[in-house]
Amino acid sequence: MAQFEFILVIVGIDPNDDAFEDRLYEAGCDDALVSVVKGSVVLDFTREAKNFAHAVSSAIQDVQRAGAQVVRIEPDSYATLSDIAERVGLTRQAISLLIRGERGPGGFPPPMARVNSDSPLWDWLMVARWLCQHNKIDDRGLLVRAAVTRKLNTILEINRKPLSGIKTLERIFVDSSELDPSLTDAVHN
C-alpha cells in the first residue's frame, strides 16, 4: 500500500467543542493533523491505501462517521506559478520558461483566472496533463490525483451534499474514466 497526502476541509463539527478532535480521531481520522484555519476545520491526511481514490473516499467516510461533512478537497484545482513549481518539484524560473514557450514545445495552458493580475491562476488539471504529455514530469500519479480531486470537488460543488461510500465513489470513477482517461488509474491501481 502507498501513502497519499491530501487535505479535507470540513463543516458540521464545532471546533470550540473540547472533544471535537477526539470525535474525529475515534471515527478513524487518526492519520490526519487537525487544525482550524480562518474558522474552517482542516484535516491534513497522510493515508495508506491501494490508490488515491480509496484514500480520499475512506477519509470522507471517517469524517462522516464523526458527524461532519467534507466541503472541499485540497490541493485546489487552481494553481499559481509558485504552486505549480512546488507541486512538480521544479523552480519558478523553469515553469516561467515553459509558460513562455522558451523551454519545451510551447502550448503551455493559459491562465484561467486572474489573468490580468500579478499572480494569475492556472487550471491545475490542464497543467498536469500538459506536463505529462510533454514528458516534463514522470509522476503520472500527479495527473491522477489532480483528476480525482477535480472530480470530487465538482461533485461536492454541484450536489452540495456529502459524498458517501467507497463503492459509490468507485462507480463515479469507473463511469468518468470513459470520459477522462486520467481517472482510470484512480480505480484500477
Cβ-contact 99, 115 below 8 angstroms: no
pLDDT of residue 163: 57
Same domain, 69 and 33: yes
Q: Which region among 109-113, 131-135, 178-182 has the lowest average model confidence (pLDDT)?
A: 178-182
The answer to whether residue 154 scores a pLDDT higher than 50 is yes
pLDDT(67) > 70? yes
DSSP letters, the chain, are -EEEEEEEEEESS-TTSTTHHHHHHHTT-TTEEEEEETTEEEEEEEEEESSHHHHHHHHHHHHHHTT-EEEEEES-SEE-HHHHHHHHT--HHHHHHHHHTSSSSS-PPPP-BSTTSSS-BEEHHHHHHHHHHTTS---HHHHHHHHHHHHHHHHHHHH-S----HHHHHHHHHHHHTT-GGGHHHHH-
Note whether 169 and 88 are same-domain residues: yes
Q: Taking residues 72-83, what's their average pLDDT?
A: 91
Examine the domain organization and report whether 141 and 181 are in the same domain.
yes
Residue 23 burial class via C-beta count within 10 angstroms: exposed 0-12, middle 13-18, buried 19 and up? middle
Domain holding 118, by residue range, is 77-189
Q: Do 25 and 98 fall into the same domain?
A: no
Single out the residue of 173, 162, 167, 186 nearest to residue 65, CA to CA.
162
**What is the pLDDT, as a whole number, of residue 6?**
95
Same-domain check for residues 20 and 102: no
pTM above threshold 0.85: no
Among 34, 50, 74, give the residue marking a domain's end: 74
Over residues 51-67, the mean pLDDT reads 91
If you average pLDDT over residues 65-78, what whole number do you get? 90
Statement to judge: residues 70 and 117 lie in one domain? no
Of 74, 95, 130, the position where a domain reaches its end is: 74
Tell me phi and psi for residue 131, to 5 degrees: -60, -40
Average confidence score pLDDT of the chain: 85
Contact 129, 182 (CB under 8 A): yes
Mean pLDDT, rounded, for 86-108: 91
Q: How far is CA 80 from CA 89, 121, 170, in A?
A: 14, 5, 30
**Cα separation values, 152 from 71, 121, 148, Å:** 10, 20, 6
Same domain, 109 and 188: yes
Domain count within the chain? 2
Flag the least confident range among 54-58, 106-110, 148-152, 180-184: 180-184
